[in-house]
């Protein structure tokens, strides 16, 4: 059984029943969040294996029999010494979320959100997506036996993600437009047809699963708190959820400090970074956002209020990176550390480099970069890599070995 929790408006703090299935406050329109009663107490999960459900007392599922899982979480926190040396950082870690069952961090949220959907007796689930949310939702709804419909911007999602949605048998609505429009459409659908439960990151239960990344990092660093956590930002669900996780650790009395949250966006899809740079307390949506990191090609992030709050409270910041820097970071991480991530994820490493250059991160800091999705999701990146050299050899050529040796 979880510890006591309720639903609360992030903005005006109005309270809602935990069976409330809306996504916004009925009084002020603010985003909702799950509030656990967290105070210092004995931690029951110490000896359990690393996984999302290790922390089940802090996950809002009342009845274990609804839990839908594919063994999510427990991803590696890799000390990256070679890449760190290149950047001048001794303590660089990569939390590689591509190691999740469908290859992205979304699985942390989906296992909880799907379990909640079943607990609330929902039979149909829906989302809009730049790819990973739909891949994850398609898999978890297949696992739970629920009907799934996904709205995706036509021609704008990576091939691997599209394949995942197809193979898991979701119904696909290809939208002639971008992600922000797909999002508007799915919100309209779920408002009109209450039978569809919306699984985007405005769903407060989903974000509870995603906060477990903070708990895992804390455990993997044996209780140390990173100085900075650097991660890509699209809709802003993940940065808000992870910040919430670090806050709960502090409220529990098991972490003394909290990290700075540094959000990274692509140059031409950067409403959050722009608001931070211009010291505005509201974002200005970006029309027609562009980047080859299709996962974060988002102009109107639905969680912007939570993101700006996380950045302000953590004394963090948000920065932009160019597509070229993203590609370079992707190759560095793959070739120096053996970690292959998709472009959006590499934005965290590119952003870390920028933060170091700008003096925003100290060389002595303990830094965790969150890489959010697996590199195999987006094979189109191959065209940006050098072609392999052709040796043109056959085993039937008598001199093939001599010819090869001359070229080695």
Catalog residues that contact ligand F0G under the rule CB under 6 A.
104, 129-133, 201, 232-239, 295-296, 342, 344-345, 372-373
Question: Shortest approach of ligand F0G to residue 382 CB, angstroms?
Answer: 18
Whichever of 25 and 272 has its CB closer to ligand F0G, that residue is 272
Going from the C-alpha of 71 to that of each of 94, 110, 138, 401, the distances in angstroms are 20, 12, 16, 47
Contact (Cβ atoms closer than 8 angstroms) between residue 135 and residue 106: yes
What is the secondary structure of 300-346 as a DSSP string? S-TTHHHHHHHHHHTT-EEEEE-HHHHHHHHHHHHHHHS--B-HHHH
Whichever of 68 and 133 has its CB closer to ligand F0G, that residue is 133
Rounded to whole angstroms, the Cα distance separating 241 from 344 reads 18
Strands 77-79 and 91-96: antiparallel
Question: Shortest approach of ligand F0G to residue 83 CB, angstroms?
Answer: 19
Question: Shortest approach of ligand F0G to residue 394 CB, angstroms?
Answer: 42
Whichever of 7 and 127 has its CB closer to ligand F0G, that residue is 127
Whichever of 229 and 296 has its CB closer to ligand F0G, that residue is 296
Q: Which residues partner with 93 through β-bridges?
A: 79, 368
Whichever of 77 and 119 has its CB closer to ligand F0G, that residue is 77
Question: Shortest approach of ligand F0G to residue 36 CB, angstroms?
Answer: 21
Nearest to 201 by CA among 242, 244, 236: 236
Whichever of 119 and 259 has its CB closer to ligand F0G, that residue is 259
Whichever of 91 and 127 has its CB closer to ligand F0G, that residue is 127
Q: Which residues partner with 231 through β-bridges?
A: 263
Question: Shortest approach of ligand F0G to residue 142 CB, angstroms?
Answer: 17
For tokens 């660093």, the residue is 221
Q: What angle do CA 9, 219, 252 make, to 5 degrees?
A: 45
Question: Shortest approach of ligand F0G to residue 371 CB, angstroms?
Answer: 8
Q: In 252-314, where does DSSP find H-type helix?
A: 271-277, 304-313
Question: Shortest approach of ligand F0G to residue 128 CB, angstroms?
Answer: 7
């Amino acid at each position: 059984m979880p510890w006591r929790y309720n639903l609360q408006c992030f903005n005006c703090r109005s309270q809602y029943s935990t069976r409330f299935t809306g996504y916004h406050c009925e009084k002020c329109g603010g985003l909702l969040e799950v509030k656990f009663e967290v105070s210092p107490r004995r931690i029951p999960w110490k000896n359990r294996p690393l996984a999302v459900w290790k922390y089940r007392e802090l996950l809002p599922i009342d009845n274990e029999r609804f839990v839908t899982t594919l063994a999510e979480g427990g991803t590696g926190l890799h000390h990256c010494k070679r890449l760190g040396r290149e950047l001048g950082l001794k303590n660089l870690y990569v939390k590689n979320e591509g190691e999740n069952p469908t290859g992205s961090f979304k699985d942390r949220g989906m296992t909880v959100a799907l379990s909640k959907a079943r607990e609330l007796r929902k039979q149909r689930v829906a989302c809009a997506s730049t790819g990973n949310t739909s891949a994850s939702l398609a898999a978890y709804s297949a696992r739970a036996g629920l009907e799934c419909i996904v709205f995706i911007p036509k021609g704008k999602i990576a091939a691997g993600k599209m394949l995942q949605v197809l193979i898991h048998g979701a119904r696909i609505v290809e939208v002639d437009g971008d992600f922000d429009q797909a999002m508007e459409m799915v919100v309209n659908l779920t408002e009109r047809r209450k039978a569809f439960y919306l699984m985007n990151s405005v769903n407060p239960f989903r974000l509870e699963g995603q906060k477990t990344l903070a708990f895992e990092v804390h455990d993997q660093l044996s209780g140390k708190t990173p100085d900075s956590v650097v991660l890509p930002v699209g809709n802003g669900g993940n940065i808000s959820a992870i910040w919430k996780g670090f806050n709960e650790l502090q409220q529990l009395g098991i972490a003394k400090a909290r990290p700075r949250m540094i959000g990274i966006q692509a140059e031409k899809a950067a409403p959050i970074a722009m608001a931070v740079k211009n010291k505005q307390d509201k974002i200005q949506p970006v029309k027609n956002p562009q980047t080859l990191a299709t996962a974060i090609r988002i102009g109107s992030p639905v969680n912007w209020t939570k993101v700006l709050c996380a950045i302000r409270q953590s004394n963090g910041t948000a920065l932009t990176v160019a597509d070229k820097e993203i590609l370079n970071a992707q190759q560095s991480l793959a070739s120096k550390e053996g970690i292959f991530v998709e472009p959006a994820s590499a934005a965290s490493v590119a952003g870390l480099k920028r933060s170091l250059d700008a003096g925003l991160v100290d060389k002595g800091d303990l830094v965790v970069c969150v890489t959010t999705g697996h590199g195999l999701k987006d094979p189109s990146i191959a065209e940006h890599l050098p072609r392999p050299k052709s040796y043109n050899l056959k085993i039937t050529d008598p001199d093939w070995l001599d010819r090869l040796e001359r070229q080695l």
